[in-house]
Amino acid sequence: MAGRVPPVKHPVLVTSPPLTLADAGARLRRFVRTAFALVWIVPAALASLQLTLLGDPSGVRPPPVVALVWQGDIWLVWALWSQLIITLVDRVRPDTGGMRRWIAVHAAGTTLVSAVNILFIAALDHHFSPAVHAAGFRGALRGAILGHLDMQVVLYWAVLGTAYMVEFVRRYRERDQDAAELQQALARTQLEALRLQLNPHFLFNALNAVAALMEDDVREAQRTLTRVSDLLRMSLRRAGTSLIPLWQELELVEAYLDVARVRYGAGLEVDLTVDPGSVDVPVPSFLLQPLVENALKHGLVPGAPNQRIRLAVARDGAMLDILVEDNGKGLEGTITETGSFLAVNPSVDGLGIGLTNTRQRLATLYGNRYAFRLGDPPGGGCRVHIRLPIS
């Protein structure tokens, strides 16, 4: 008897939470503190090497270890002072605490840091330099003041200025990110409002068709009402979704045309041509249905023979071409174009809620990267041509 094959355990993928703006700011602060703690190693090493090779002012060249301790301590102490300065930058801000308080705090900080460093440098010089040691600590202090006081003040304000520059960059990024998120939220709100505007629009038209059919063919009206419920279910399924695969949009259009055929009769011919390579391309939800409805409502006549609607979708490089065309009465001279590819002055006034809504949604989603053309084809009727970026 063959042994049982143990079930295959698939690895569990653990997704990391998205990096928030607060996390990015905290990371930047940690990076700045770490950088200020380590950057002083460079001048400490250079000063120690210079002292080893050239000696002190008296010409004495100490051993490398002594030079490293002597000059290294003078510079590495700034790794501590820089942390204090960064803390003051975080807690004392000129825009919230007042300029006078800010100047007073950093004037006191400059005085404290410079005084402590001068005493520290004097102690190191007095300990390691035979010439300075012979002159006594008072002489070492005088030499430290004359040789290092100005540099201590400059270093304090250099660290302060660099810390504020990084802080301003962080705040700018936060404001820029907040503005981008606000713009995206407004765009999502606008798209959802436009989508909700379309749902009852086509639904009411479909129910009107069912009501008219009830007087002539109850069974057909029941079948059509079932199809209307399918339309509503598809609409609810796409609620809150701005972009859906093209095949889902085509599914909704076909359901809508099933309802429309009840009113327009057997004389309505639909020519649907779709590039197989485009069926999974994301498109705005409720993009095609208003175009088809516009062709039916404004171009064709219920019950008339030899009426045609052509819907063609194809990829053209990085663009998606959508064409909706009918052989009805046309636009009667009304022509509109929008999008950077085909026109400059958009105008869809008076063309109904469907086309106006569609153009507004495209502008919200794609900015100037889309194209919208509405006009009369040479053979008569109406043609809507839309180009969307595939990305």
DSSP letters, 50-90, are HHHHH--TTS----HHHHHHHHHHHHHHHHHHHHHHHHHHH
Average pLDDT over residues 16-41: 74
Q: Which residue bears the tokens 């023979």?
A: 305
What is the CATH code of the structural domain delimited by 214-389?
3.30.565.10
Two tokens, residue 170:
């962080």
Ranking 20-29, 128-137, 297-306 by mean pLDDT, the lowest is: 20-29
Q: Measure Cα distances from 271 to 323, 326, 327 in Å.
A: 11, 10, 12
Tens digits of residue pLDDT in 35-94: 888 999 999 899 889 888 887 777 778 888 888 888 888 899 999 999 999 888 888 877
Position 168 pLDDT exceeds 60: yes
Which of the pair, 165 or 20, is modelled with greater confidence? 165
Tens digits of residue pLDDT in 83-113: 999 888 888 877 666 788 888 999 999 999 9
- Structural domain boundaries of the chain? 21-182, 214-389
Q: Where are the alpha helices (DSSP H) in 214-341?
A: 218-237, 246-264, 288-294
